[in-house]
Each structure stands twice: as structure tokens, then as C-alpha cells.
Copies of this chain bind each other. A is one copy, B any other.
């Protein structure tokens, strides 16, 4: 707050008078950003492609605005920020012919999985020191059932985008197969 005020050349209390507490500032910021996100286009000519596209939009949009996304996540405004994209995804699931319950379960399942990927991708670099990372810890794993070559491979971080695509494909295939 003080830092933000200093950057604006005003006093912290002025922000409190005009906008409100930290929470209100964040809320206003998220509100603005959310409106800008509403127009991510869904592409594809069949349900599979279109659902995948809508899901990918959540992922790429978040990656394109890491700071806002982090801030929203840390303050509990993720849902507000993502809502337009959630709606977009829900539309495609409905269009694919899913009934209400399956639509909800598909929507939530996809969103939760995306959330997991985003948590990994967007964590502030200083939140987890390098030596507490899973990849780092695997370096000293010595298990007879796990070949050294596999162990070393696990030490290297995966290609997040590729992994995301594959994971989504698996999920969506399963959802639309029924």
C-alpha cells in the first residue's frame, strides 16, 4: 500500500479514502482485467477441438498475464478473473451434448487440472527455493525399483505446454467418449 502510494506520488491514506483497503484495490484491478479477457476466441470445427480450445484459452490467458493471475489467486479472486473463460468452456461442453451434471463435472474436472498446472507454472520464483523443488529432491533419490536413467530424467522439468496439451486431450477424450 505504502509502496503503491509512493509510486503514485501520494500518501497511503489517500488510497484508502478514494478506493478502499487493499482488498478493494485488488478487486477493482481484477474487475478491469476480467472484462478484457472476455473475448478470447474459441476455434475448431468439432466438439473435441472446440472444448480443447476453450480449455487452452484459460491456460494461455493466465500465462500471458502472470502477475494479475497470481494476484487474483493469492487474494481469492481467481474465479472472478476467469469467469468469462469458464463460461466459454461451459458453452462448448453444452454444445457437445453433455447433460447438466456431466457438464458441471467436466467443467470442474478440467478447471481443477488446469489450476494444478497454473500453480506450478505461475508460482513466484522466490516462493520455493531451488533445493525444495521436486525436481531437485529427486536428484538424491535412490530406489532399486527406479533405474538411474529414469531418475535423472525426472530431475529435469517437463515441457509444460506439451504436457498440458496431452493431459487435456486425455481428459476431453474421456469426457466426450460417453
Contacts and interface: CB of A to CB of B under 8 A. Distances in A.
A76 B129 contact: yes
A15 interface: no
B95 A145 contact: yes
Taking residues whose C-beta sits less than 8 angstroms from the other chain, chain A's interface range is 35 or more
Contacts of A153: 100-101, 103-104
A112 to B, nearest CB: 4
A83 B154 contact: no
B170 A134 contact: no
A116 B127 contact: no
Which of A95, A114, A116, A152: most chain B Cβ within 10 A? A116
Contact of A76 (B91, B127, B167): B127
Interface string A106-121: 0111011111111110
A150 B116 contact: no
Contacts of A169: 174
Which 9 A-B residue pairs are closest in the complex by CB-CB distance?
Answer: A116-B116, A170-B174, A76-B128, A79-B134, A115-B116, A100-B153, A100-B150, A112-B116, A113-B113
